[in-house]
Amino acid sequence: MRVTRLIVAAGGGGDAVAAAMLDTALYDDAGPAVVLTYAWDRLLIDPVPGPRGPADFTGLRRLTASVQAVPGDASPVAPAGSALPRLAAELPQTFALIDPHHGAEGITRQLEELVQHLAPESIDLLDVGGDILAKGDEPTLRSPLADALALAAACQVNAPVRLLVAGPGLDGELPADDLRDRLGAAVLTFTPDHVQPVSSVLEWHPSEATAMLAATARGVRGLCEVRDAGLPVPLTDEGPTVHEVDLDDALNRNQLARALLATETLDEAEQCSREICGYSEIDYERNKASWLGSRPERMLDPERTLLQLDQFEDEARVRGVSHTTFRRITEALGLNGKQRQDLRALLLSSRPEQYAAPLWRIPAYA
């Protein structure tokens, strides 16, 4: 009899890719898992702010009354975009859609239906980086809402859920040193073999945290600069580790997750975030989308781009940076998300020796 396992990707996006890595590492002999994940690509692939719901797709496949799978031939409804259909087309796992538009109560209902439908042998709630362990008022916190909603829902399901944190500190939100006393025992250290099944996905997927998780599993070490703000993230031996964390302890610490427990709409959840964290990350996306929409798009000129890259790398070396992401380079050079793959192709064809898959290596000297 085939064993079914359920992995909940707490933050969506890159956490779904990491869930596929986890599935390979821990459960490869049991058949592909079902991964419950958000369609929330944070303007990198999707120009529309916030997460997508079922109404934003065509071609979904119903699993339960409130849960739909995203098959490889599904499509986002324009102008929305989503990485999930391509992810489903390239990986063996079944990707099911978290719909946060009905708040934590709606996600709880989705989980309960999946548990009844699948009767999974195990349920893992996976977060890359560890911001799910935040209190909510940390000044470095940037995107707590998705994780807090998933945590609030998981704590209300009438089934055992194991909380796992992969790559402590790699999301650039909470430093690994701050997380150390919140982590339980390490249950796994990712290796290059665990990365191999998702290696083709990492060639195009925009997640920075999962890119660094994969890079550290492949042995990359140094200081990686990420995001538009250029946050420095250390790449250390802790990078490829996965730790178990007590679910109740995480909820007791996470003020936002506790406030979200009874929410029934995404608007309610956003308001909780504004009150506890001082902001809503979807407001930030709305503002950024408006700014990006008003900015004229410029062509990617190869010669000019490589000169700009030289300047960026010179400045990054001064900051002690050894690696960066293609998202960071794209934004630092004033290009938009749609040009990220063109930029990547240019860099790999002109300077292939600097590719530390899936990161970009900055040489110690020019």
Dump pLDDT digits (tens) for 5-38.
Answer: 999 999 978 999 999 999 999 998 778 999 999 9
| CA atoms of 187 and 206, how far apart (whole Å) | 27
Rounded Cα–Cα distance for residues 86 and 72 (Å): 6
252-266 pLDDT per residue, tens = 999 999 999 999 999
* Residues 6 or more apart in contact with residue 203 via CB below 8 angstroms: 358
pLDDT of 1: 41
Q: Are 236 and 223 in contact (CB under 8 A)?
A: no
Q: Domain boundaries in the chain?
A: 5-260, 302-361
Rg of the chain in Å (alpha carbons): 19
Structure confidence by residue, pLDDT tens digits, 331-357: 999 888 889 999 999 999 999 999 999
Q: How far apart are CA 226 and CA 72, in angstroms?
A: 29
Percent of the chain residues topping a pLDDT of 70: 99
In Å, what is the CA distance from 333 to each residue of 45, 126, 189, 231?
18, 33, 35, 16
DSSP state of 52: B
- Segment 142-158 shows an average pLDDT of 97
Cβ pair 170, 129 in contact under 8 A: yes
Q: Is the pLDDT of residue 295 over 80?
A: no
Mean pLDDT of 265-273: 98
Residues 173/135, Cβ–Cβ less than 8 Å:
no
Q: Residue count of the chain, please give it.
A: 366
Token code pair at residue 114: 């999946």
Asked whether the beta carbons of 263 and 269 are under 8 A apart, the reply is yes
Asked whether residue 297 carries a pLDDT value surpassing 90, the answer given is no
Residue 289 CA to its chain's centroid (Å): 19
DSSP letters along 101-115, please? GGHHHHHHHHHHHHH
- First-to-last alpha carbon distance for the chain, in angstroms, is 58
Say how far apart CA 90 and CA 115 lie, in whole Å.
25
